[in-house]
């Protein structure tokens, strides 16, 4: 597999090239910032109609990761939906698909700034949760041993910029998993101030590649 | 013959002028619904265009807009306003003349809509914007004439298509509208006339006396041109000498970056402190205006410039034009030379300065073509549909429209005369619903049909966003550059260039060396540096493609036994290429292999033109990828493709095998960078991607995600979508130019000369400084990224945390 294994705050972690995080000791798969329904929200608000296939694309990717890792639990780390209207207007195919993915496993929707309320799509809704030594929430705080999303970090190596995991000794920030998500450069001050000491970026893409920031 | 009214006759007499024959002809045929004048620069072309308007407006009885003047450049509109006001003021005519461009203030624009002047000078984009307002029928009511200046330049681009679509709209709003085109000398006037007229009406063409041949030569320097490079730094002392000898010199460059470097070096050598300015499209408006004003006031001895000064601007006392870098296109060269010496019937004076030895050959070929009056040009295809989509959205902004009526109106545009109803409906459907196979937007359609069957915007507020994104100019995304702590921008750089900068890097902008500090609120912040040489020499800029005719001339020249017409150093250089490698021949493909800076290089000389050579680069690197040769990237020029990779190529024959080339081509088409770039352009014009958003980008977070993702998603889920069809067609015609690859392969019929050499060859040298390198996103790139990451991990002394 093209994943990258590392220890983070005492928990064994595996960064998948897709941008998902797998915790083998707990059989937990975590994905962040799916932004499902983004094209629908953009059309509603601006009139610009992007190719309406990003839900399919994102769910297909998620299904592949679930098939590969066979998790007991899936954590969607916030901003799973581009807004609550988008969550409520997911088409029937997408709803059935999600239900299929949820079958036989515990599914947790962590709330994000785009999707603060509960959604009518199965699974449980939480503001944050703890797995082993790690705490999972959408937006990073000062707390250590924390896994969060929200910033959509990207990193540039050898001239190529890609979504990337960023972590130091205390926190890990996940890349955006959704198909239509932009990103924030790892150099941005908003991101840099969250970290201290050596930061490692794990590039997504064909293979998860670690690189010092 | 229509006689000049006395007041005009007196004015001509008072200035000691007589009316030119072509000006009289324009007057005689003023009633013609479509009229085109072909005249050299300096032939009183603008006055010829405006004279009928001035005469019709002289009695002060016309109310509202009478004449619209459209030019491709903002600067041209401002310049014409200046020149036109003089006769109007001197004759005391009751005529109000104003200009309206992207630079006009908001208040002035509002006032112009409420109370339009008699003559409005504008650009295609500003005109399209005007037609998008609900009150367009009132603004254009009574419009009598539209003058399209430099129509030859507009006719070659999508801007021209957009303008002609706007014209069809205007003709409906003002049925008496007469169309006038002003053109420089072109190879096929009838083709341009067909674009100007309301199809299928005829268009009258008036040919002015072309004037004497220009006095044009290559600048002879003590110093030899370098083997490679585009800066022409070697020629600075000689250029300065020429500037001293003339009143005013225009120094043209092919790219903004080259203009910046040349200007910088010129100032370092300008010990006499001659007043020399710089003018190009990346500079902030205030800076451009300052240079323009100084030029008009006669305060400058020279201006270093690019295409932004290219078109018909009357700078008065220019008596020398210097072209730095090979002109790439004979027609453009001739038009540039027209800048010099605006006295009618006096030969224009121009000097060509080749930047390197290959350009010496190109310059000589261009000179011969000018002498032979051999202008180049490529036939233009049908009207582009991305522009049509934008036109439909613009129409919707102005109010509900009837699809049948709009279709009929569009078919009066020459370029769209063969547009089928089905093709039109496709575009309408795209604008209304997105045109996706998955009908996902029924609830949020952009356009809705009203009860009476007419189409309108679902949300009228969308009009603002559509208006913000009007235009077809494909500038790559640019970021403003400003001094830290200073609000006023210095100019712009391309986003891709900005992305390569790290704090501390120095580069040139506006003729000064600046240091990159940071990126703040989507603005590049810099500080001043006293350095003489910038660390990073260039930022990217537009590039021109060599015409086929020039390429053919160059190949014929290579075939000669010796080259008495070339300077000794260049003849010597070609001799070296002949000695150490080989000179390319018209009926064979020359392939050179050599190592350079740790990479294996392959140089294929095909002379098929820049676009086709680029496509060849794509196809060959794809085949290399399949053969595990780890290609890393390539760069193409008009004559060759240079490919570099991690492994050597021992036999190029399978890479250039014509069998399956077409099939490879089809496969390749779906997933390559050129297609993605073409898609980005078409999708932006058609309104799928917004360039400008209502609220300024604050966070530094990408406001939009990459168009590549949209392209990939569409290709995967909706391969027959309109945007992909447009992309394919355009790529085939323009950037891809597969036809010329097939022509090259047929012409050479498998006759490949492969030479293995131990170093960079003389002829391939200039390729190494070409901009526009394209990275191959394959296994080689992945391998390199891994290697780089591993190196960084090791250097940082961490294996993990």
Q: B17: cis peptide before it, omega within 30°?
A: no
Q: Which residues of B524-544 are buried (b: 16+ CB within 10 A; e: fewer)?
A: bbbeeeeeeebeebbbebeeb
Nearest to B649 by CA among B755, B777, B769, B768: B755
User: Cβ contacts (< 8 Å) between A161 and chain B: which residues?
Assistant: 499
d(CA B214, CA B338): 8
Nearest to B567 by CA among B218, B332, B334, B329: B218
pLDDT above 90: residue A79: yes
Chain B nearest CA to A128, separation (Å): 25
d(CA B290, CA B77): 16
- CATH fold group of domain B6-207: Rossmann fold (3.40.50)
Nearest-Cα residue of chain A relative to residue B461: A46
Nearest-Cα residue of chain A relative to residue B686: A48
d(CA B712, CA B718): 10
CA angle B13, B17, B23 (to 5 degrees): 115
Q: Is B637:B766 a contact under the CB 8 Å cutoff?
A: yes
d(CA B188, CA B314): 25
pLDDT above 80: residue B498: no
Nearest to B363 by CA among B371, B308, B233, B572: B371
pLDDT, position B29:
95
To the nearest whole percent, how much of chain A has pLDDT over 90?
76
Beta pairing partners, B457: B447
Confidence band of B795 (pLDDT split at 50, 70, 90): confident
Mean pLDDT, rounded, of chain B: 83
Distance of CA B137 to the CA centre of its chain: 32
Higher-confidence residue of B370 and B93: namely: B93
What's chain A's Rg over C-alpha atoms? 16
Asked whether the domain spanning B215-371 has the same topology as the one spanning B6-207, the reply is: yes
Contact flag A91-B441 (C-beta cutoff 8 Å): no
pLDDT, position A66:
97
pLDDT, position B597:
86
Residue B606: which residues within 8 A CB-CB, separation 6 or more?
B589, B612, B613, B616, B639, B640, B641, B741, B744
pLDDT, position B542:
38
Chain A nearest CA to B10, separation (Å): 58
Q: What is the DSSP letter of B74?
A: H
Q: Is B127:B143 a contact under the CB 8 Å cutoff?
A: no
User: Cβ contacts (< 8 Å) between A17 and chain B: which residues?
Assistant: none
Question: Which residue of B434, B718, B800 is in closest CB contact with A49?
Answer: B434
Nearest-Cα residue of chain A relative to residue B787: A158
pLDDT, position B549:
74
d(CA B358, CA B361): 5
pLDDT, position B500:
58
What's chain B's Rg over C-alpha atoms? 27
Task: Quote the tokens at residue B322.
Answer: 């210097």
Q: Is A168:A200 a contact under the CB 8 Å cutoff?
A: yes
To the nearest whole percent, how much of chain B has pLDDT over 90?
36
Chain A nearest CA to B801, separation (Å): 7
Task: Quote the tokens at residue B64.
Answer: 């509202």
d(CA B160, CA B153): 8
Q: What is the DSSP letter of B233?
A: G
- Coil, strand or helix at A135: strand
Higher-confidence residue of B189 and B307: namely: B189
pLDDT above 90: residue B175: yes
pLDDT tens profile B286-330:
787 788 788 878 888 998 887 666 554 555 678 888 988 877 677
User: Cβ contacts (< 8 Å) between A203 and chain B: which residues?
Assistant: 785, 789
For B157, what's the count of Cα atoms within 13 Å in the CB-facing half-sphere? 15
- Coil, strand or helix at B520: strand
Residue B790: which residues within 8 A CB-CB, separation 6 or more?
none
Boundaries of every domain in chain A: 4-212
Task: Quote the tokens at residue B745.
Answer: 């392969």
Nearest-Cα residue of chain B relative to residue A213: B792
CA terminus-to-terminus distance, chain A: 24
Boundaries of every domain in chain B: 6-207, 215-371, 385-468, 478-528, 581-785
Higher-confidence residue of B381 and B140: namely: B140
- Coil, strand or helix at B221: coil
Contact flag B699-A190 (C-beta cutoff 8 Å): yes
Confidence band of B8 (pLDDT split at 50, 70, 90): very high
Confidence band of B670 (pLDDT split at 50, 70, 90): low
User: Cβ contacts (< 8 Å) between A181 and chain B: which residues?
Assistant: 705
The domain A4-212 having CATH identifier 3.60.21: the answer here is: yes
Sign of the dihedral defined by the CA atoms of residues B238, B242, B245, B247, in that order? negative
Which alpha helices (H) appear in B15-93, and where do they start and end? Answer: 21-28, 45-57, 74-90
Arch. (CATH architecture) of B215-371: 3-Layer(aba) Sandwich (3.40)
User: Cβ contacts (< 8 Å) between A8 and chain B: which residues?
Assistant: 801
* Pick among A15, A42, A50 to test the B interface (most B CBs inside 10 A): A50
């Amino acid at each position: 597999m093209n994943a990258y294994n590392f220890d983070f705050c005492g928990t064994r972690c595996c960064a998948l090239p897709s941008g998902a995080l797998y915790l083998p000791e707990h059989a937990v798969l975590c994905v962040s910032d799916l932004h499902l329904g983004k094209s629908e929200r953009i059309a509603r608000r601006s009139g610009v109609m992007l190719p309406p296939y990003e839900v399919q694309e994102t769910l297909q990717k998620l299904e592949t990761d679930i098939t590969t890792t066979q998790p007991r639990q899936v954590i969607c780390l916030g901003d799973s939906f581009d807004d609550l209207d988008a969550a409520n207007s997911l088409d029937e195919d997408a709803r059935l698909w999600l239900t299929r993915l949820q079958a036989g496993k515990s599914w947790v929707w962590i709330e994000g700034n785009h999707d603060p309320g509960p959604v009518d799509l199965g699974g449980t809704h939480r503001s944050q949760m703890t797995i082993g030594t790690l705490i999972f929430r959408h937006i990073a705080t000062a707390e250590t041993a924390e896994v969060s999303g929200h910033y959509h970090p990207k990193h540039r190596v050898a001239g190529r910029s890609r979504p990337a995991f960023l972590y130091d000794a205390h926190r890990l920030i996940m890349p955006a998993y959704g198909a239509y998500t932009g990103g924030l450069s790892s150099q941005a001050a908003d991101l840099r101030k969250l970290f201290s000491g050596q930061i490692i970026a794990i590039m997504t893409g064909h293979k998860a590649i670690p690189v010092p920031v | 013959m229509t006689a000049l009214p006395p007041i005009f006759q007196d004015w001509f007499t008072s200035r000691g002028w007589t009316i030119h024959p072509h000006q009289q002809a324009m007057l005689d045929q003023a009633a013609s619904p479509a009229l085109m004048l072909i005249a050299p620069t300096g032939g009183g072309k603008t006055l010829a265009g405006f004279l009928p308007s001035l005469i019709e407006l002289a009695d002060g009885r016309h109310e509202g807009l009478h004449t619209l003047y459209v030019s491709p450049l903002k600067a041209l509109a401002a310049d014409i306003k200046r020149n036109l006001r003089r006769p109007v003021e001197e004759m005391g005519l009751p005529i109000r003349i104003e200009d309206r461009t992207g630079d006009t203030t908001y208040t002035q624009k509002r006032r112009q809509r409420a109370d339009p002047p008699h003559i409005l000078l504008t650009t295609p984009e500003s005109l399209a914007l005007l037609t998008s307002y609900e009150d367009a029928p009132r603004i254009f009511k009574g419009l009598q004439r539209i003058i399209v200046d430099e129509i030859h330049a507009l006719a070659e681009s999508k801007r021209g298509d957009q303008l002609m679509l706007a014209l069809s709209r205007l003709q409906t709003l003002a049925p008496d509208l007469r169309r006038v085109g002003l053109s420089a000398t072109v190879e096929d006037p009838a083709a341009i006339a067909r674009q100007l007229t309301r199809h299928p009406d005829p268009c009258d063409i008036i040919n002015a006396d072309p004037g004497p041949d220009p006095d044009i030569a290559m600048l002879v320097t003590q110093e030899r041109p370098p083997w490679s490079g585009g800066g022409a730094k070697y020629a600075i002392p000689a250029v300065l000498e020429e500037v001293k000898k003339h009143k005013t010199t225009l120094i043209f460059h092919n790219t903004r970056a080259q203009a910046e470097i040349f200007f910088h070096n010129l100032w370092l050598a300008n010990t006499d402190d001659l007043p020399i300015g710089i003018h190009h499209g990346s500079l902030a408006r205030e800076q451009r205006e300052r240079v323009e004003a100084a030029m008009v006031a006669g305060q400058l001895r020279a201006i270093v410039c690019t295409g932004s000064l290219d078109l018909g601007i009357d700078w008065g006392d220019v008596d020398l034009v210097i072209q730095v870098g090979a002109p790439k296109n004979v027609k453009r060269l001739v038009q540039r030379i027209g800048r010099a010496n605006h006295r009618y019937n006096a030969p224009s004076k121009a000097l060509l300065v080749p930047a390197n030895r290959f350009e010496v050959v190109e310059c000589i070929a261009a000179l011969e073509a000018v002498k032979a009056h051999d202008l180049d040009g490529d036939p233009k295809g049908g009207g582009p549909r991305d522009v049509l989509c934008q036109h439909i959205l613009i129409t919707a902004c102005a109010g509900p429209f009837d699809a049948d009526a709009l279709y009929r109106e569009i078919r009066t545009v020459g370029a769209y005369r063969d547009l089928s109803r089905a093709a039109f409906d496709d575009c309408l459907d795209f604008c209304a619903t997105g045109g996706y196979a998955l009908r996902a937007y029924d609830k949020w359609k952009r356009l809705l049909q009203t009860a009476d069957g007419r189409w309108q915007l679902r949300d009228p507020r969308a009009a603002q966003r559509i208006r913000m994104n009007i235009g077809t100019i494909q500038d790559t995304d640019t970021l403003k550059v400003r001094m830290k702590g200073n609000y006023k921008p210095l100019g712009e750089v391309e986003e891709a260039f900005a992305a390569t900068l790290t704090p501390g890097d120095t580069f040139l902008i506006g003729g000064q060396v600046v240091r990159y500090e940071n990126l703040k609120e989507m603005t590049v912040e810099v500080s001043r540096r006293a350095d003489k040489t910038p660390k990073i020499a260039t930022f990217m800029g537009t590039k021109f493609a060599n015409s086929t005719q020039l390429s053919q001339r160059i190949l014929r020249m290579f075939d000669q036994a010796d080259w008495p017409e070339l300077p000794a150093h260049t003849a010597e250089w070609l001799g070296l290429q002949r000695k150490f490698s080989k000179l390319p021949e018209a009926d064979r493909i020359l392939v050179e292999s050599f190592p350079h800076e740790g990479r294996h290089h392959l140089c294929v000389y095909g002379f098929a033109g820049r676009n086709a050579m680029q496509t060849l680069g794509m196809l060959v690197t794809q085949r290399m990828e399949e053969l595990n040769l780890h290609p890393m990237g390539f760069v193409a020029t008009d004559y060759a493709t240079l490919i570099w990779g991690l492994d050597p190529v021992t036999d190029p024959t399978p890479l250039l095998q014509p069998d399956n080339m077409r099939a490879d081509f089809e496969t390749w088409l779906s997933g390559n960078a050129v297609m993605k770039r073409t898609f980005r352009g078409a999708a932006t014009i058609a309104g799928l991607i917004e360039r400008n958003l209502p609220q300024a980008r604050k966070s530094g977070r990408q406001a939009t995600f990459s168009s590549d993702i949209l392209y990939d998603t569409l290709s995967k889920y909706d391969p027959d979508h309109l945007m992909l069809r447009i992309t394919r067609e355009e790529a085939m015609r323009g950037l891809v130019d597969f036809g010329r690859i097939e022509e090259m392969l047929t012409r050479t019929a498998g006759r490949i000369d492969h030479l293995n050499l131990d170093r960079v060859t003389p002829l391939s040298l200039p390729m190494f400084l070409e901009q526009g390198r394209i990275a191959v996103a394959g296994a080689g790139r992945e391998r390199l990224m891994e290697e780089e990451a591993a190196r960084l991990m090791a250097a940082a002394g961490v294996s993990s945390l």
